[in-house]
Each structure stands twice: as structure tokens, then as C-alpha cells.
Amino acid sequence: TTAAALERFTINFTITNLPYTSDLENPHTTKFKSTQKVMNIMLNQLFKKTSIDSVYMGCKMMAFRPRQKPEETGVDALCSYKTDSTASRFDRVNVYHEVRNTTNGITSLGIYSLDQQSLYING
């Protein structure tokens, strides 16, 4: 048998009810850390409801970024999953559809409202 390897994928989306502030640029600020902590919990809960649940290893916030509207914040995260000969191939289209369905058509992630046009999985 082959040992499990770690593969990564990106998830990007826009939160429409989290005003962007410069505190979100710096990973050492309280605002970044607290938002990152909440976002990690939300993403973990989200991916536990998808087909990658058994191989999902977690996500790391890479950046929060400003959007055109001041009340919006873009989110970039790098997520990882285990892969081995018994694991099914990561299907970004399938995962996208599962995330869309789990977020009420890309409208909500826990306490956050999402821009329906903003979700990208691995691209």
C-alpha cells in the first residue's frame, strides 16, 4: 500500500457582512486572529458535510482582502486533504456543488452572508 500524501486546494469567496479593515491585513492583529479562528471553525464544519469529509485535514487562512464595497471582505484559504490509493480523486466541481448546497446556494456560512458569485474551489 502507498502512504497517504497531503494534497491542497484553494477556496475563495467574499463575505458581504464583514467590513474590511486594515486590521485584517496583518496576521498578528487581534481582528485577524479572531476572524481566522471563526472562519476555520466554519470551514471545518462546512467540509465535514461534503464527500471529502473522511480525507479533509483543515484549512489555513492565507488572506483577507478588500473588495469594491467597504462592507465586504474577500477570503482566501488553503485547505488540505489526504490522498492514497483507496481515496477517491478530488473532484473540485463536485466539491463546489456540495459547498454551494451546504451554504444555501452560496448565501450563508454560519454568521456570515456570502456573495453568490464569489465562490471558487481550486481556481
Q: Answer left, alpha or beta for residue 79, where phi above 0 means left and psi between -120 and 50 means alpha.
A: beta
- Whole domain around residue 13: which residue ranges? 5-122
Residue 88, pLDDT score: 66
> What CATH number is given to the structural domain containing 24?
3.30.70.960
Cα dist. 77→4, 32, 68, 87, 119 in Å? 22, 13, 20, 23, 12
pLDDT tens over the chain, length 123 residues: 456 788 999 999 999 999 999 999 999 999 999 999 999 999 999 999 999 998 999 999 999 999 999 999 999 999 999 887 666 677 889 999 999 999 999 999 999 999 999 999 997
Q: What is the pTM of this model?
A: 0.90
Cell of 94: 463536485
How many domains, the chain? Answer: 1
